[in-house]
Amino acid sequence: LESPLYADVGGDLEVSFEFFPPKNEKMDAQLWDAVRTLEPLGPRFVSVTYGAGGSTRERTHATVARIQRETSMAAAAHLTCVEATKAEIDAIAEEYWAAGVRHIVALRGDPPTAGAKYASHPGGYENAADLVAGLKRLHPFEVSVSAYPECHPDSGDAAADLDNLKRKLDAGANRAITQFFFEPETFFRYRDQLAAAGIDAEIVPGIMPVMNFASVQRMSAMCGTAVPPWMARLFEGLDDHPAARQLVAATVAAELSRRLYAGGVKQLHFYTLNRAELAYAICHLLGVRAKVPAAVAAA
Catalytic residues: 18
Amino acid at 120: S
- Is 206 one of the binding residues for ligand FAD (CB under 6 A)? yes
* C-beta separation of 110 from 82 below 8 A: yes
Among the listed residues 52, 201, 285, 290, the single contact to ligand FAD using CB under 6 A: 52
Closest distance of CB 143 from ligand FAD, Å: 11
Measured from the Cβ of residue 274, the count of other Cβ atoms closer than 10 Å reads: 21
Q: How far is the CB of 108 from ligand FAD (least distance, A)?
A: 3
Closer residue to ligand FAD, CB minimum distance, 130 or 275 = 130
Q: Quick one: which of 61, 108, 191, 275 contacts ligand FAD (CB under 6 A)?
A: 108
Contact in structure between 279 and 272 (CB atoms under 8 Å) = yes
Q: How far is the CB of 61 from ligand FAD (least distance, A)?
A: 13
The reply on whether position 74 binds ligand FAD by CB under 6 A is: no
CB-count burial class (<10 Å; 0-12, 13-18, 19+) for 243:
exposed
Does residue 173 bind ligand FAD (CB under 6 A)? no
Using rule CB under 6 A, residue 127 touches ligand FAD: yes
DSSP string for 126-167: -SHHHHHHHHHHHS--EEEEEE-TT--TT-SSHHHHHHHHHH
Question: Which stretch in 5-13, 106-114, 135-143, 250-258 sits in contact with ligand FAD by CB under 6 A?
Answer: 106-114
Minimum distance from residue 41 beta carbon to ligand FAD (Å): 20
Question: Please, what is the angle between helix 184-196 and helix 242-262, to 10°?
Answer: 30
Q: How far apart are CA 91 and CA 89, in angstroms?
A: 5
Q: In whole angstroms, how far apart are CA 62 and each of 37, 59, 96? A: 20, 5, 10
Residues that bind ligand FAD (CB under 6 A): 49-50, 52, 78, 80, 105, 107-110, 127-128, 146, 152, 154-155, 160-161, 164, 168, 177, 179, 206
